[in-house]
Structure 1
Amino acid sequence: MTRTPTSFPEDTIIDAHAVDTGLSDSGFSTHSFQQIRYQQIRAALLQRQELALLDVREEAPFAEAHPLFAANLPLSRIELDSAARIPRRNTLIVVYDDGEGLAIDAARRLRRLGYSDVTLLEGGLAGWREAGGEIFRDVNAPSKAFGELVDAQRHTPSLSAPEVKALLDADADVVVLDARRFEEYNMMSIPNGISVPGAELVLRVRQLAPRPETRVIVNCAGRTRSIIGTQSLVNAGIPNPVSALRNGTIGWTLAGQTLDTGKTRQFADFGTTSADDRAQAQRAARQVADQARVLRADSDALTQWKNDPTRTTYRFDVRTPEEYASGHHPDFRSAPGGQLVQETDHAAPVRGARIVLTDDDGVRANMTASWLAQMGWEVFVLDDVGPQNLTQCGSNADNDKASLPPALPVNSVAPRTLAAWLEQDLPRDASQAKTVIFDFTSSANFVKQHIPGAWFVLRSQLAAALDKTPLASRYVLTCNTSLLARYIVSDLQALTKTPVFLLEGGTSAWVAAGLPQVAGEATDAGATALASPRIDRYRRPYEGTDNPAAAMQAYLDWEYGLVDQLTLDGTHGFFVI
């Protein structure tokens, strides 16, 4: 099919018009941005044209309401995240908010970063809703809706929490495989569970359940990853009986059963996969990929696509982060396959893009690709990768630092100098300089530890934070490493004549210097240290062990209703093998 990524169907009648942002800054002229209607975006999604629909609010309000294929790219993190998530600078980008006034600012920043086809959603989220667009909630909605569709069409086998507990209590021949990330498993897990992230299941299951009589139970926190993991094993034709733990750790908790915490059992603790088991997994994975119509690619095609200005090509290494860090293909980002399927909206916000996957075993890439293909992606597996290609070491964060956009020059302050300034501020009175620290780390990190006297601030609420915090003779900005804070210095300086400084090395450097830290949300005087609300992250109802039962049940009820929502939306393009 011929694709025209930045145009819309000719038979779509759209009265797109420009809106003057009224925004300009030194050396950067005022821009106008086209407005695009819901019907136009729907037509592009149906024709699988490339489109990045970006919700630039913080994650918590995004999770309350958004279109199915919207991706959350908060205004706060545009400079840090846009290059990796939207690699092609002439991608059609549609930006929206819900009346907060963030969209135009985000569009301006994206254009300043070199994105040439930036538009606004007419009417924002309210316009989408008023035009009849379906509204989804929570995060990773496309993947969760797809998981429910798989369950509805394939009737993925499952057992309830009491049934699984009865098997464990009876010392039955059963193995419980936790398909989440290790960090989630470590926080809370089913008793006797083993951490086997989703893409590893087909590769590792034979070493963990070598007897075909052993029942394999796959769990996650809710439903999606246990459904996809279980169905992966079914699709791959393993001889064992396989079941998902119905409703995951939520179902376990709602049944009044106790979860383990702090467990560390991982698939690697049980040895390496034998050559025979690997060969069986490779054959099965390739058969599943072929059935799902996964495409094949070689290095020549990869080179051609890298230089293609008309298509976005995401390149993901779906092995474990540890394997990736020890040696990977220089052109690929780390995206462990189970999480990639779970978080397609985060990893690949350009709907309609091309995806290329790689591994070093022929199992994980093929199984991951089989799911992405069913989710409507044009997905390829790179077949000719070998040890000679795995030449680059390091993490995504290491690789991303080189691609960060330049920031304006800033005045900086060393941690110990800042400590001296704070000491001089005591006792504080009107005749002495007052240093006010704004910390732009995540709210969770801030509550865990921050510099005494610092205020938690969201970039998207910077002006409001100025009104909530004391008058200052100087401001010092920080975050974990000061990477994000560096870009915000000019934002704050545009709002005040008070000198603004950047903490060198961020709060990490402060801690490394042995300087004091405090925890919590309150100041010494008992007032809140939060100058912005904690909306930077949505608290998942399946995280932790202290969620209200009503919230967990409401989450499950929402997941059960996703198939009906997919029908109402009508743009998904999913199929199930």
Structure 2
Amino acid sequence: MSLPELTPADVRRALLAREEIALLDLREEDPFAQSHPLWAANLPLSGIELQAWRRIPRRDTLIVLYGSHDGEDLVPRGAAVLATLGYTRVHALAGGLDGWIAAGGEVFRDVNVPSKAFGELVEHERHTPSLPAEQVQALIAAGANAVVVDARRFDEYQTMSIPGATSVPGAELVLRARELAPDPATTIVVNCAGRTRSIIGTQSLVNAGVPNPVAALRNGTIGWLLAGQVLDHGAARRAPAQVAPARLAQARSAAADTARRAGVRRTTLAALAGLRDAPGRTLYAFDVRTPEEYAAGHLPGFASAPGGQLVQETDHSVPVRGARIVLADDDGVRANMTASWLAQMGWEVYVLDGANGFDDTGPALSPLPPAPAGESIAPAQLAEALATSVVVDLGPGQAHVRAHIPGAWFAVRAQLRQALERLPAAPQYVLASADGALCRHAAPELRALLDARGQAAARVRVLAGGTAAWVAAGLPTEAGEARLATPRSDRYRRPYEGTDAPRAAMQGYLDWEFGLVAQLARDGTHLFQVL
């Protein structure tokens, strides 16, 4: 039976009507990042079984698929997998990505584009204050009454940071700014790697009425490096963990008012079940506190999504456009501020009032589908059989480069057919991945491909526990990418990532961001309304 199709016009109509729809790109992250529609979410064919139930929780969600690789349309394979997972309304995008473009649809580069484009629109409409890197450097050198706060994740901050900066991830800014800079004359400079999180962080302080002078570090650490200035590495400064009651009350009142003005809705624990059970509606429930707080105890059924990153990566966390979102915290600040941004981005978002009982320490994610039965091999057994085995590492590619089983080949799972053209023949093939979960689903595919190639006698096994179990057993690893059976297209290298990005790539990234407001206008499906 052929798969039903929706045209680009159908998809646009659903987006503009705020109907629930998941437009899914089945390619790996790198090709996805080169060109895709604004509201497309990346769900690579390679890992659908491990992601779908968590990211698309309602099985009757309207799903539209597109994506091809090396001349192969990935949609039939993706649709078949989704059908086995219980999804009942799966469609193909008529004409695929080419059809979208031919119909006049705008396409975007990079990842997390809705959030980044929204940040640019915020600065464009609100004229968010900013300072160039040279001026911030002069403030630091002069010992001025100023603090620099880094709005990224703590691990990103540790990789590279502005000298003297303090880590205050996005959702923490309004909660902790008054504690970090109690003197209202202290200038607060907010930075990230590029632009989005510094713009949103700075505008959060403005929207919440923080009395200090505030400014974004223009173009973040990219701008800092392009100005010829030096970054710190391995810094560990954090904002005060405790907030004085009077300052907490100020932050709570300001955050609630900001959420109200943005059109954020309210709900309670008693009403939450009704939202969850509403027919035809998807509900995402997120705890926007820090990962450490979440691990110490959270509400049942709430996934961890620190607020700053949720605003930054909304397309990944909430791939169903038009879905409902409910946010929780235990302070009355972080959920309100996060929700205020999501509401401006066109989401129907609720804040959970009166939340209590943050004592669940179990996993909040949906269970994974059962994996096909197959033959496994323990790390010690594989160590003895390496000479007669071909080990196929299904990634992630970055992890493969850092450390993999000696002699292992890297391959993208969805491209096993192409990988076999490079792999040597062997009596035994062993599939490995980070924890082995992906391999269980890939093993039947490899078995079928080997049979079709006349290698029915070859054995296919899965490394029990994956590469993590190999390392835990104290077995040796090697680094590098000498054996790539397929390109490492599973991850897009961000131009602002790490400390060795080429200057031309960094400048090109900034130029791309500057053009996003015009792209939003041409696309016309964003529904953003800046407060």
Same fold flag (TM > 0.5): yes
325, 330, 340: which one pairs with 1:360?
330
For residues 490-569 of structure 1, the aligned pairs below 5 Å read 490-496=444-450, 497=456, 498-522=458-482, 529-569=483-523
Q: Distance in 2 between matches of 1:151 and 1:274?
A: 31
In the alignment, does 2:380 pair up with 1:412? no
Change (3 A) 1:382 1:399: closer
Tell me which residue corresponds to 2:259.
289
Q: Distance in 2 between matches of 1:217 and 1:391?
A: 36
Tell me which residue corresponds to 1:179.
151
For residues 99-498 of structure 1, the aligned pairs below 5 Å read 99-267=71-239, 270-386=240-356, 389-394=357-362, 398-400=363-365, 403-422=367-386, 425=387, 434-496=388-450, 497=456, 498=458
40, 47, 52: which one pairs with 2:22?
52
Give the match's secondary structure for 2:376: strand
Give the match's secondary structure for 1:95: strand
Give the match's secondary structure for 1:346: helix
Q: Distance in 2 between matches of 1:107 and 1:199?
A: 37
AA partner of residue 198 (structure 1): G
Q: Normalising by the residue count of structure 1, what TM-score does the alignment of the two structures yield? A: 0.90
Q: Which has the higher mean CA deviation after the structures are superposed, 102-111 or 334-343?
A: 102-111
Deviation per residue, 1:325-346 (Å, 9 max, x gap) = 1100111110000000000100
Give the match's secondary structure for 1:563: helix
Q: Is the 8 A contact 1:88 1:309 kept in 2?
A: no
Q: Is the 8 A contact 2:302 2:364 kept in 1?
A: no
Q: Distance in 2 between matches of 1:493 and 1:121?
A: 30
Deviation per residue, 1:261-306 (Å, 9 max, x gap) = 1111112xx3411111111100000000000010001123210122
42, 49, 72: which one pairs with 2:42?
72
Deviation per residue, 1:466-495 (Å, 9 max, x gap) = 110100111111111101111111111111
Q: Distance in 1 between matches of 2:405 and 2:354?
A: 50
Q: Distance in 1 between matches of 2:301 and 2:45?
A: 27
Q: Distance in 1 between matches of 2:282 and 2:265?
A: 16
Q: Distance in 2 between matches of 1:308 and 1:111?
A: 23
Q: Distance in 1 between matches of 2:244 and 2:448?
A: 61
Q: Distance in 1 between matches of 2:29 and 2:80?
A: 20
AA partner of residue 441 (structure 1): G
Q: Matched residues, percent identical?
A: 61
Structure 2: gaps (5+ residues):
451-455
Q: Distance in 2 between matches of 1:482 and 1:92?
A: 31
Q: Distance in 1 between matches of 2:499 and 2:151?
A: 18
Q: Is the 8 A contact 1:355 1:378 kept in 2?
A: yes
Give the match's secondary structure for 1:468: coil
Deviation per residue, 1:239-269 (Å, 9 max, x gap) = 10000000000100111111111111112xx
Deviation per residue, 1:352-389 (Å, 9 max, x gap) = 00110000000000000000000000000010211xx2
Structure 1: gaps (5+ residues):
1-19, 21-31, 426-433, 523-528
Deviation per residue, 1:507-541 (Å, 9 max, x gap) = 1111111111111112xxxxxx1111011111111
Q: Is the 8 A contact 1:145 1:566 kept in 2?
A: yes
Change (3 A) 1:455 1:149: same
Residue 399 of structure 1 deviates from its aligned partner by 3.9
Residue 459 of structure 1 deviates from its aligned partner by 0.7
Q: Is the 8 A contact 2:300 2:364 kept in 1?
A: no
Q: Is the 8 A contact 2:301 2:364 kept in 1?
A: no
Change (3 A) 1:407 1:509: same
AA partner of residue 327 (structure 1): G
Give the match's secondary structure for 2:232: coil
Q: Distance in 1 between matches of 2:381 and 2:516?
A: 54
Q: Distance in 2 between matches of 1:379 and 1:353?
A: 9
Q: Is the 8 A contact 1:68 1:136 kept in 2?
A: yes
AA partner of residue 547 (structure 1): A
Deviation per residue, 1:396-435 (Å, 9 max, x gap) = xx443x600001111011111111112xx3xxxxxxxx31
AA partner of residue 442 (structure 2): I
Q: Normalising by the residue count of structure 2, what TM-score does the alignment of the two structures yield? A: 0.97
Residue 308 of structure 1 deviates from its aligned partner by 2.2
AA partner of residue 420 (structure 1): E
Residue 501 of structure 1 deviates from its aligned partner by 0.4
Q: Which has the higher mean CA deviation after the structures are superposed, 95-104 or 224-233?
A: 95-104
Q: Distance in 2 between matches of 1:466 and 1:260?
A: 44
Tell me which residue corresponds to 2:52.
82
AA partner of residue 213 (structure 1): A
Q: Distance in 1 between matches of 2:487 and 2:44?
A: 15
Q: Distance in 2 between matches of 1:100 and 1:275?
A: 60
In the alignment, does 2:34 pair up with 1:34? no
Equivalent pairs counted in the alignment come to 523
AA partner of residue 393 (structure 1): T
Q: Distance in 2 between matches of 1:453 and 1:214?
A: 56
AA partner of residue 465 (structure 2): G
Residue 545 of structure 1 deviates from its aligned partner by 1.3
Q: Distance in 2 between matches of 1:196 and 1:486?
A: 40
Q: Distance in 2 between matches of 1:356 and 1:514?
A: 44
Aligned-residue CA RMSD in angstroms? 1.0
Residue 100 of structure 1 deviates from its aligned partner by 3.6
Change (3 A) 1:390 1:271: closer
AA partner of residue 179 (structure 1): A
Give the match's secondary structure for 2:361: coil
Q: Distance in 1 between matches of 2:376 and 2:59?
A: 31
